[in-house]
Structure 1
Amino acid sequence: MKMGNYVAVRGGNERFFEEMPLYVRVGMHLLFYGSRKASLLRYASVEHLLETMSKKQGVTYDDASNPEDVQKFIKSFIETYELKLDDLAEQDLTKYPTRNSFFYRKLKPGARPIAEPNNDKVISSAADCRLMVFDNVESATKIWIKGQQFSLPNLLGGADKNGDLFPPGSSLALFRLAPADYHRFHHAIGPVKMGEKTHLGKEYYTVNPEAVGENFDVFTANTRQVVLLDWEPVKAKVAFVAVGAMLVGSINWTNSDVGSNGKRGEELGYFAYGGSTCIAVFPPAAKVKWDGDIQANSLKGIETFVRVGERIGESKAAL
């Protein structure tokens, strides 16, 4: 028996069921259902266990000492998640020396076309993911994020601890990556100039909707890294947050030196094993308008499946 949640597909009324093994679902209920005081997370030892498990899993998935075991894992992973291999940059599975090297596999150039590449106002998906978008934090917390401590200052920490850069009315996009997804994340806007990174949090809670929709401060407690981007044509700063999660070994950045330039669609980083989330925060000055189908789904509490480079909205600010 399996359980899970429905995810909308763009271009019609189709939805697919994202299955979850029953034993995983039961475990998540024990950890995350109800108030924190009533769950197993009231015990500090459980939080320590999640951290230890995540770090240990990272070591295991970087282990190249048993090639046969690695190949068994890769083939089982492909079968379990029914992965298509046509888009892989490296299609010879024996060329992946570790589990993680396959997990954060690269794709062929052009495998993820960038929507309207010459339109600097367009916002595209940062990842292959299940996407939620909101015009403000009030909507996000009413419909989706139930952690009582969620606020933009708490999410962004020292990157904007007083809320000066991202005041009320700032828009959010939440890109949730499931284990089966391509696990590299890309610039959602551009051209941009990279700012400094801020490392926050220490927990390793799951980012599955089961936990996000309960009274747990997943996004404001989990280990995460925040980078501020100067969206130069729009003349606005945008915060991009990479959120670690249960069984995620690490957050890795590429082409992200302070002061470097990035284009929409270019790779920004990748997650090691596990599902995780990226969050983009846009100030009111960016005048973001989300695409209607994604916003309509989000207002119903339904995630939309999108891939890297797909258009998800645009800025209405004058260039």
Structure 2
Amino acid sequence: MLTCLYHTCIGRFILKFLTWPPLSRLVGRFLDTRLSRRLIPGFIRRNHLSMNDFIVEDWPSFNAFFTRKIRPEARPVDFSPEALISPCDGLLRVYPVREGVVVPVKDVPYSLDALLRNRALAKAYEGGMCLVFRLTPSHYHRYVYPDEGYKSRNVFLPGVLHTVQPIATEAVSVYRENCREYTLLHTEHFGTITFMEVGAMMVGRICNYQEEGHFRKGEEKGRFEFGGSTIVLLVQKDKVKLRSDWKESLMQEQEVPVHMGERVGRAINLVK
């Protein structure tokens, strides 16, 4: 289905309608209604979801189910000061930032200038790393802060909503076209991290909870409503050393499954 949408003339015509932001808002409103509850059992079955880790409630809508909360013991947070934790459940790829360019998908380069629409900010990450966490619809869709510190205001960049499946990213510049929101996290142990949420096709909302202010490691930052989504962390040069057991997979640009709260790297100035 995705191949047809992204690689045929008819498919791309249909895609213009499917990626129209008002359509996603309309779908989002329906998924907030009680009528949408009937979609829940089929979604659980198709995605082979185990509900053992989640707090089961009488959800009033599909979106309430989709943004369901997880039991804290199911996602323990590594509170070691040197630990950079995963902000979410997802599939992780890591790319070096060289000469202002990130390559989040093989053979599809993206300029940090275009991603952030801020040339000075993009330059601050030269020589650093870009961590891309891809969330599928079956993943847990709440996300947390990866360290403690102080955050700036949220910056929203409107765009066209696309899916974040690999077939789509091969065909269009998804991270440049999708609506997204970012903030600067001035962290205690990892310098200034840019934390970006990227919306996807049929995602009604990126829901962040606070503007400027202090945050704690593991504190919930926000949630995505229905659809697959992506979180991007930009980390400055010489701030983080990634887990050594992932080295081979990441060098081959393979996706590594991660859980929210688990260690993905260590602060270089604290590594002994």
TM-score normalised by structure 2 residue count:
0.89
Identity, % of aligned positions: 28
Corresponding position: 1:112 with 2:70:
no
Corresponding position: 1:309 with 2:269:
no
User: What residue in structure 2 maps to residue 184 of structure 1?
Assistant: 142
Listed one character per residue, the Cα deviations across residues 65-87 of structure 1 (whole Å, up to 9, x for unaligned) are x3xx51x3211111111212222
Corresponding position: 1:216 with 2:172:
yes
Give the distance between the partners of 1:46 and 1:211, measured in 2 at CA: 11
Query: Retained in 2: the 8 A contact 1:87–1:111?
Result: yes
Give the distance between the partners of 1:198 and 1:175, measured in 2 at CA: 19
- Inter-CA distance 146–246: structure 2 relative to 1 (3 Å threshold): farther
Give the distance between the partners of 1:185 and 1:202, measured in 2 at CA: 22
User: What residue in structure 2 maps to residue 50 of structure 1?
Assistant: 19
Corresponding position: 1:170 with 2:99:
no
User: What residue in structure 2 maps to residue 86 of structure 1?
Assistant: 52
- Compute the displacement of 1:292 (Å): 2.4
- Inter-CA distance 169–271: structure 2 relative to 1 (3 Å threshold): same
SS in 2 for 1:79: helix
- Compute the displacement of 1:182 (Å): 0.8
Picking from 42, 45, 53, the partner of 1:76 is 42
Unmatched runs of 5 consecutive residues or more in structure 2: none
How many residues get paired?
Answer: 269
Corresponding position: 1:126 with 2:87:
yes
- Compute the displacement of 1:295 (Å): 3.5
Query: Retained in 1: the 8 A contact 2:154–2:211?
Result: no
- Compute the displacement of 1:130 (Å): 0.9
Query: Retained in 1: the 8 A contact 2:162–2:200?
Result: yes
Give the distance between the partners of 1:240 and 1:301, measured in 2 at CA: 21
| Residue pairs, 1:117-266, within 5 angstroms | 117=79, 119-137=80-98, 141=103, 144-148=105-109, 150-158=110-118, 161=120, 163-166=122-125, 168-188=126-146, 190-212=147-169, 214-234=170-190, 236-254=191-209, 256-258=210-212, 260-266=213-219
Listed one character per residue, the Cα deviations across residues 224-243 of structure 1 (whole Å, up to 9, x for unaligned) are 00110001234x21100000
SS in 1 for 2:233: strand
Q: Which amino acid aligns with 1:163?
A: A
- Inter-CA distance 296–137: structure 2 relative to 1 (3 Å threshold): farther
Unmatched runs of 5 consecutive residues or more in structure 1: 1-25
Listed one character per residue, the Cα deviations across residues 128-149 of structure 1 (whole Å, up to 9, x for unaligned) are 11111123358952x725434x
Give the distance between the partners of 1:146 and 1:53, measured in 2 at CA: 30
| Residue pairs, 1:89-100, within 5 angstroms | 89=55, 91-92=56-57, 95-100=58-63
